[in-house]
Structure 1
């Protein structure tokens, strides 16, 4: 009924889950992750207790493979219908598919990832997801690599019943809003005719609004550029003796405060300022 990938970034700092299903609000049931501990996806007659149980085991140093074994061994319910994937802060991921999961059902796992799905169009869903994951080794942002793998599964047929929801959860120490949270990305498409595509659109928006700017791309706020920015800000009613303060005030209204760096301007902020003519609200 669902296909997912649970994985760790190449540098080991981020952990996450991407999932899609013909199921309402799949993001509320399947994924869980904890920074520097691990990530888990529970599906196919999902046992939601697997989420805290898996993270608790991983948090004590139990490897992903042993964690999956412990989850299945301790489950008093219909394990033959269960499916689960787990990844820890190091080592290979692990996946389990009960022998009575609806066809086609199966999974694949390797260093830092586990992919699983049930009631799929065929084995190519998992196979193409794995190929996409392995081909994305150069991705520096885990969320985009996970999404690429999920999209590959969707294009291969995904859930054979159709499309409805998708979700993306990524955690990393201090990478949440304002550096005050470890939840880097938490996006859900609960009911949509093309949920994976919609998830991609939301991720692009999330990157704009909630990621820190790339220091290498920052433009010095001096000379003609400073004059242009000041004029645009004035048109929006954000004026004052300090250009940095005026820009920060505008950015707060435009929800771009994460991208403000004193003395400079992020090209993405500049593009938004120019496109809006200085308007915000």
Structure 2
């Protein structure tokens, strides 16, 4: 009923899952991940207990393959299950029970596991693997989504499209540096959920990614005067006040400005109230 990829970043620090399905809110059921531990996807009559149990096994240093073996051996319903697991190092592992609805199967390799059931064909999984391997240096969120999008283009879930999700963890990478959840995006009910998920990733990059130090512009001279003038026209005394309203505070730096923040300011986009969209 679903196709997914579980993956680890090239530097080994990020772990995550991307998934799509003709199923309402698939992100509420399939993915699980814990920073410095591992990630997994449970699908095809998903056994949600796999999420807690699998992360517990990975946390003890159990390999992905042994985690899959342990979870499925203890499950009387394993014949109808599908599972993908990646640990903090080594190869990923995937499992497809003999009673999963066709087409069903998966592939795994160093740092990834790809699996799907009720797919249009084996090319869904093959194309996902090719997309994953094509750009190892890409940020994990983008790399996972690229693989998911490739599977979607190849046909994806043979029943149609409804939901998609992306979940990525990395130590201290959450909002304000106070959690390990780097990306947590869901499209619960949409006719083109994988495309919509890509749009949300772009918004996440704008609002929550840290700026690239190499691109920062010193807030001096004419640029400082321009920024002050634009802020005053919008009714703000300083950049921090405006950025807080626009939810761009994660991109603020001292004595400089991120080009993306500057572009947003120059665009003069409408401001929400300070409390809107604030966690």
TM-score, normalising length from structure 2? 0.96
Q: CA offset at residue 136 of structure 1?
A: 1.6
Matched, 1:36 2:36: yes
For residues 81 and 222 of structure 1, what CA distance do their matches in structure 2 show?
63
TM-score, normalising length from structure 1? 0.96
Aligned to 1:129: 128
Aligned to 1:260: 252
For residues 13 and 138 of structure 1, what CA distance do their matches in structure 2 show?
13
For residues 163 and 201 of structure 2, what CA distance do their matches in structure 1 show?
15
The equivalences for 1:170-185 within 5 A come to 170-185=168-183
Aligned to 2:79: 80
Q: CA offset at residue 138 of structure 1?
A: 2.5
For residues 138 and 209 of structure 1, what CA distance do their matches in structure 2 show?
22
The equivalences for 1:1-281 within 5 A come to 1-76=1-76, 78-139=77-138, 141-239=139-237, 246-276=238-268, 280-281=271-272
For residues 182 and 98 of structure 1, what CA distance do their matches in structure 2 show?
32
Unaligned runs of 5+ in 1: 240-245
> Counterpart of 2:168 in 1: which secondary structure?
strand
> Counterpart of 1:131 in 2: which secondary structure?
helix
Q: CA offset at residue 269 of structure 1?
A: 0.2
Residues 179-200 of structure 1: CA distance to partner in whole angstroms, max 9, x if unpaired?
0010000000000000000000
For residues 124 and 228 of structure 1, what CA distance do their matches in structure 2 show?
53
Unaligned runs of 5+ in 2: 273-279
> Counterpart of 1:216 in 2: which secondary structure?
helix
Q: CA offset at residue 87 of structure 1?
A: 0.2
Q: Which ranges of 4 or more aligned residues in structure 1 deviate by more than 2 Å?
A: none
Report the RMSD for the aligned CA atoms in angstroms.
0.7
For residues 200 and 149 of structure 1, what CA distance do their matches in structure 2 show?
12
